[in-house]
Amino acid sequence: EPEVTQTPSHQVTQMGQEVILRCVPISNHLYFYWYRQILGQKVEFLVSFYNNEISEKSEIFDDQFSVERPDGSNFTLKIRSTKLEDSAMYFCASSEIFGGETQYFGPGTRLLVL
C-alpha cells in the first residue's frame, strides 16, 4: 500500500538555525499538508498546498515557515530561524482530491531545538 514518507525521523538543531523537513507524498496525490504536534498536545494544522501554491495556512505558519515542492516527488517544510518552541513532531500528509475523504499521514519528523 502506498505511504507517505518523511526524512529525517529525528532532527536536533540549535536555536536560530534553519531546518528543512522533507516529505515524499503518495505519488498520485495533488494536495499536501503539514501539521505539527508539540509533545503532549493536540495535532495542529500548519499549511495546505496545491498546484505550487499555499491554499490555506494557520496563524502558526508565520514568515519563519515556508513550503516548497522542489520537484515532482518531494514536499518540504523550511523553518528559517528555529526557536525553542518549534520543538515538536512534524507530520506531512497528502490527499488525492480537495476535500477528499482521506488524508494520509507520514510517520513524522521529531524536531528538537536546543
Partner 1 sequence: DAKTTQPNSMESNEEEPVHLPCNHSTISGTDYIHWYRQLPSQGPEYVIHGLTSNVNNRMASLAIAEDRKSSTLILHRATLRDAAVYYCILKSYNTDKLIFGTGTRLQVFP
Contact with partner 1 (CB under 8 A) among 19, 77, 79, 93 = 93
Asked if 113 touches partner 1 (CB under 8 A), the answer is no
- DSSP state letter for 103: -
- Locate the DSSP E strands across the chain: 5-7, 10-13, 19-24, 31-37, 43-50, 53-57, 65-68, 75-79, 88-95, 104-105, 109-113
How far apart are CB 81 and partner 1 at their closest, in Å? 25
Distances, alpha carbon 90 to alpha carbons 1, 56, 57, 76, 81, in Å: 22, 17, 15, 11, 16
How far apart are CB 33 and partner 1 at their closest, in Å? 7
Q: How many other CB atoms are there within 10 angstroms of residue 89's CB atom?
A: 17
Contact with partner 1 (CB under 8 A) among 102, 111, 112, 114 = 102
How far apart are CB 105 and partner 1 at their closest, in Å? 3
Q: Taking CB under 8 A as the rule, which mask of x and - marks residues 24-63 in contact with partner 1?
A: -------x-x-x------xxxx--x------xx-x-----
Residues that bind partner 1 (CB under 8 A): 4, 31, 33, 35, 42-45, 48, 55-56, 58, 91, 93, 95, 98-99, 101-108
